[in-house]
A and B are shown apart, each in its own frame.
Chain A
Amino acid sequence: GAGVSQSPRYKVAKRGQDVALRCDPISGHVSLFWYQQALGQGPEFLTYFQNEAQLDKSGLPSDRFFAERPEGSVSTLKIQRTQQEDSAVYLCASSLLSPANNNEQFFGPGTRLTVL
């Protein structure tokens, strides 16, 4: 079956522009995570949804970052007034059940954002 998909795969933005990154999780997966991976680093947690509820947004680096999952499936990560330090790969992951069940997280291919 289809895995996690993300779009666009690549995005170039001028500093100050707003961007929206989309994640389509595996169908039926309850949990959805966003991570940010800077060059040469491991992914870092941004935020977590269980269905449509955003249960943890402690990793969002500033109030310019906003995520939503209004119907409990597709999620959008929005970055306002992009800065050069926002350049990174943004990874989305989903898992079947709530994390308390220790389910594997499946990652999408990521969106590579470059801010000029």
Chain B
Amino acid sequence: RKEVEQDPGPFNVPEGATVAFNCTYSNSASQSFFWYRQDCRKEPKLLMSVYSSGNEDGRFTAQLNRASQYISLLIRDSKLSDSATYLCVVRKAGQGGKLIFGQGTELSVKP
């Protein structure tokens, strides 16, 4: 079983839709949590960190449930430019900072 699990999708949604991605992690020693965005044939880029209290950045809201080992990302009012793969990422304490990535969830926003 992978340490970080995501539904690979693809999620096909119309412009303006709200879409939610979920992710679970198996290691309770996980310390930091992130969502990365990766465009086709490009490098991953940090979208946002995820905090226990939940955090929002414009149209993007991230939530963390440590008890359930569950992370979510909500995108409101989807834009065509949101089309990408969204990677759920965790970092464990005492592991030197290495990032553990999920498989990624592919999002395609259609006009």
Contacts and interface: CB of A to CB of B under 8 A. Distances in A.
Query: Do A and B share a complex?
Result: yes
Contacts of B22: none
Contacts of A31: 97
A35 B87 CA distance: 14
B43 A33 contact: no
B96 A99 contact: yes
Chain B CB within 10 Å, residue with most, of A43, A59, A108? A43
A107 B43 contact: yes
A43 B96 contact: no
Contacts of A48: 96-98
B55 interface: no
B96 A55 contact: yes
Given A40-B103, A42-B103, A110 B43 contact: yes
- Taking residues whose C-beta sits less than 8 angstroms from the other chain, chain B's interface range is 20 to 34
Given A43-B87, A44-B101, A102-B91, 20 more contacts: A33-B97, A35-B99, A40-B8, A40-B103, A41-B104, A42-B87, A42-B104, A43-B44, A45-B98, A48-B97, A50-B96, A56-B95, A91-B43, A98-B97, A100-B97, A103-B97, A104-B46, A107-B44, A108-B43, A110-B43
27 contacts: A31-B97, A33-B97, A33-B99, A35-B99, A35-B101, A41-B104, A42-B4, A42-B87, A42-B89, A42-B101, A42-B104, A43-B87, A45-B100, A48-B96, A50-B96, A56-B96, A91-B44, A95-B97, A98-B97, A99-B97, A99-B98, A102-B32, A102-B91, A107-B43, A107-B45, A108-B43, A109-B42
